[in-house]
Chains A and B, each alone.
Chain A
């Protein structure tokens, strides 16, 4: 099978995935106790107003009917109207998704840029001081909860050292014309360098917090994979051919050891999407995570559904990218 045939098949598989995800989210979110009509109408509204609101939101119909109507509208690109913002959910999402993608991409880059070299150094300097140091660092990484780390980092870097800003994606005083919604991309497109620096500056703390556990995971996994790979026969042959240490490590060992790491990176991406709910809220980051978190608090069904579906799509696409990368790394895998 050719690669593009495989791609088409995989993209088509996203459809049943979305149906499954929507069904589960729809059921679960409607089983949560609480009355969205009451929340939407306001705490002091009369029972009649609440009933009218319930009817307007379509919440008085049986669940299967509600689901059917929702899916019908979804086919037309209509995700419903948010109960809390009273705007179409699709519009809310369009405004916010670049922020989340920007944040997770930055976190992923930090994981790759720090995690892989740390893993290589640990493996090549096994049981030396630098190995112990990087293992302690990664132990801290896996054991620190991210909401706690976020608060501590804010305290140190924002309150006391005053190096980084506390929240938001960009300083509101800096005008940036919105083209794609990605601040970094927009500031590059408009050649607005103060905005570029400022938005990267805002991104560092939340992205680091989001990626910190990932750095640790990648470091530990790569270290153990490389140590295992170093004892393999093909390493012995490479040495017997007179290959310098550098080539043995970076060509023969690293490539073989990266295959499982790539899989974990994909899973981690899913975990990070979940993590954005917390991180975006703490850092007042305008993205889907923060939107989703407040949607859950306000029992805003259309918004919850919308965010979940978009996350499912992003996750599926990330997995697809990783699977293609996999085939590039491991020639034994062919589609």
Chain B
């Protein structure tokens, strides 16, 4: 049995809006094993990003985590103080967001934005002392000078940029976000995320805003970084293709709940939940002569007044009488394959 790095249990997040209480996450549970690439897939608004924000405890107002546990390395993140959380963010758990143009600060250089993360989380005294000794020939120094510390940070920044294969890292350090291309900006954001060697890296739609060739490069880079840094990945996307290419296991989300969770191969070969099947059927296959796309009928439900019972039942082709009354629990139907559907009760 592989070691569990992150266990999310029965997570509930509500958004208290003027229109009513939006139950954005309604009892989400999943486990992520150490060293794997875990995918979280679903339509827009199904709660993928809220799940990521909850793990970092950065759910914005009017949202609030109302119930559940998020166990990371054996400790419940929801019980930690704000100060303890701040030490975890960016150092143990890092995140890459979707749009590098708006997520990078326009008035700060790339180097500065990476350096502040390193300065906040890493103790570079040893490295700075080494610089003091070797470069400035100051062997008696007990505390590194500011200059040596700055140099040590700068080297780490350059290292991080080299890790993400940024062209001309030394030039990029002094550049501003608007001076870089979309792909370079995303590389810079990844460099920021990996600069403190995180154990857990969340990619929240990290390639959505990029064109397909750049998307491909970034995915290759991420897979490569995962192997080199030995970190665990959580990849959030709405693109089944990205899941197929990069993830070991995947959880399919629907309207704030986990519909199905299994190994990627299994999800594609033997999907159980009618929603998963609908999603896979909606992908046009290049081998078929596609004239009409096969959408899932209906719309994503309003989460202020979600349908009772199974949230998918109004759109489900196989809905039974029980589906509108009882919410199906996420059950393991075969080893490693969980599904929340009354068909498999």
Within 8 A of B (CB), among A234-262: 234, 236-244, 247, 251-252, 255-256, 259
Taking a contact as CB atoms under 8 Å apart, the answer to whether B87 and A242 are in contact is yes
* Measured CA separation A330–B87 after assembly (Å): 30
Closest to B189 in A: A237
Interface membership of chain A positions 197-240, coded 1 if the CB is closer than 8 angstroms to chain B and 0 otherwise = 00000000000000000000000000000000001111011111
- Give 7 A-B contacts (CB < 8 Å), ordered by A residue: A233-B97, A233-B102, A242-B88, A255-B108, A331-B178, A332-B176, A332-B178
Taking a contact as CB atoms under 8 Å apart, the answer to whether A242 and B120 are in contact is yes
Taking a contact as CB atoms under 8 Å apart, the answer to whether A233 and B103 are in contact is yes
Partner of A234, one of B87, B89, B106, B120: B106
Partner of B58, one of A239, A244, A330: A239
Closest to B82 in A: A245
A-B contact count (CB 8 A): 78
Taking a contact as CB atoms under 8 Å apart, the answer to whether B97 and A236 are in contact is yes
- If A239-B89, A332-B178 touch, does A244 touch B120 (CB 8 Å cutoff)? yes
Instruction: Please name the 4 residue pairs, one residue from A and one from B, whose CB atoms are nearest each other, closest first.
Output: A242-B90, A242-B89, A241-B90, A233-B102
Interface check B259, CB cutoff 8 A? no
Taking a contact as CB atoms under 8 Å apart, the answer to whether A238 and B105 are in contact is yes
User: Least Cβ distance of A71 to chain B in Å?
Assistant: 44
Taking a contact as CB atoms under 8 Å apart, the answer to whether B99 and A330 are in contact is no
Further pairs besides A255-B108, A330-B107: 6, Cβ < 8 Å: A237-B189, A240-B95, A242-B91, A243-B90, A251-B116, A332-B106
Partner of B103, one of A234, A330, A331: A234
Interface check B160, CB cutoff 8 A? no
Closest to A234 in B: B105
- If A241-B89, A242-B121 touch, does A256 touch B105 (CB 8 Å cutoff)? yes
Residues of B within 8 A of A238 (CB): 105
Interface check B117, CB cutoff 8 A? yes
Within 8 A of A (CB), among B58-92: 58, 60, 86-91
Closest to A331 in B: B176
User: Least Cβ distance of A187 to chain B in Å?
Assistant: 38
A237, A247, A252: which has the most chain B beta carbons within 10 Å?
Answer: A237
Interface check B104, CB cutoff 8 A? yes
Interface check A329, CB cutoff 8 A? yes
Partner of A247, one of B60, B99, B107, B116: B116
Interface check B192, CB cutoff 8 A? yes
Residues of B within 8 A of A330 (CB): 106-107
* Measured CA separation A251–B120 after assembly (Å): 14
* Measured CA separation A43–B99 after assembly (Å): 76
Taking a contact as CB atoms under 8 Å apart, the answer to whether B104 and A234 are in contact is yes
Residues of B within 8 A of A240 (CB): 56, 58, 89-90, 94-95, 97
* Measured CA separation A137–B107 after assembly (Å): 31
Residues of chain A at interface, number, CB under 8 A: 23
Taking a contact as CB atoms under 8 Å apart, the answer to whether B102 and A232 are in contact is yes
Closest to A255 in B: B107
Within 8 A of A (CB), among B88-140: 88-91, 94-95, 97, 99, 102-109, 116-117, 120-121
Mostly, the A contact residues are: helix
Within 8 A of B (CB), among A109-152: none
Partner of B107, one of A239, A243, A331: A331
User: Least Cβ distance of A259 to chain B in Å?
Assistant: 8
Residues of chain B at interface, number, CB under 8 A: 29
Residues of A within 8 A of B105 (CB): 234, 237-238, 252, 256
* Measured CA separation A237–B202 after assembly (Å): 12
Residues of B within 8 A of A237 (CB): 97, 103-105, 189, 192
User: Least Cβ distance of B189 to chain A in Å?
Assistant: 8
* Measured CA separation A142–B313 after assembly (Å): 58
Interface membership of chain B positions 282-308, coded 1 if the CB is closer than 8 angstroms to chain A and 0 otherwise = 000000000000000000000000000
Residues of B within 8 A of A236 (CB): 58, 60, 97, 103
A241, A251, A329, A330: which has the most chain B beta carbons within 10 Å?
Answer: A241
Residues of A within 8 A of B116 (CB): 241, 243, 247, 251
User: Least Cβ distance of A4 to chain B in Å?
Assistant: 21
- If A237-B97, A240-B58 touch, does A256 touch B106 (CB 8 Å cutoff)? yes
User: Least Cβ distance of A140 to chain B in Å?
Assistant: 30
User: Least Cβ distance of A161 to chain B in Å?
Assistant: 45
Within 8 A of A (CB), among B235-288: none
Residues of A within 8 A of B97 (CB): 233, 236-237, 240
Residues of B within 8 A of A241 (CB): 89-90, 94, 116-117, 120, 192
User: Least Cβ distance of A6 to chain B in Å?
Assistant: 19
User: Least Cβ distance of B335 to chain A in Å?
Assistant: 35
Residues of A within 8 A of B56 (CB): 240
Residues of B within 8 A of A232 (CB): 102
User: Least Cβ distance of A225 to chain B in Å?
Assistant: 13
* Measured CA separation A8–B317 after assembly (Å): 74
* Measured CA separation A240–B56 after assembly (Å): 7
A237, A240, A252: which has the most chain B beta carbons within 10 Å?
Answer: A240
Residues of A within 8 A of B99 (CB): 233
* Measured CA separation A127–B131 after assembly (Å): 49
- If A240-B58, A241-B116, A242-B87 touch, does A251 touch B176 (CB 8 Å cutoff)? no
Residues of B within 8 A of A242 (CB): 86-91, 117, 120-121
Interface membership of chain B positions 3-16, coded 1 if the CB is closer than 8 angstroms to chain A and 0 otherwise = 00000000000000
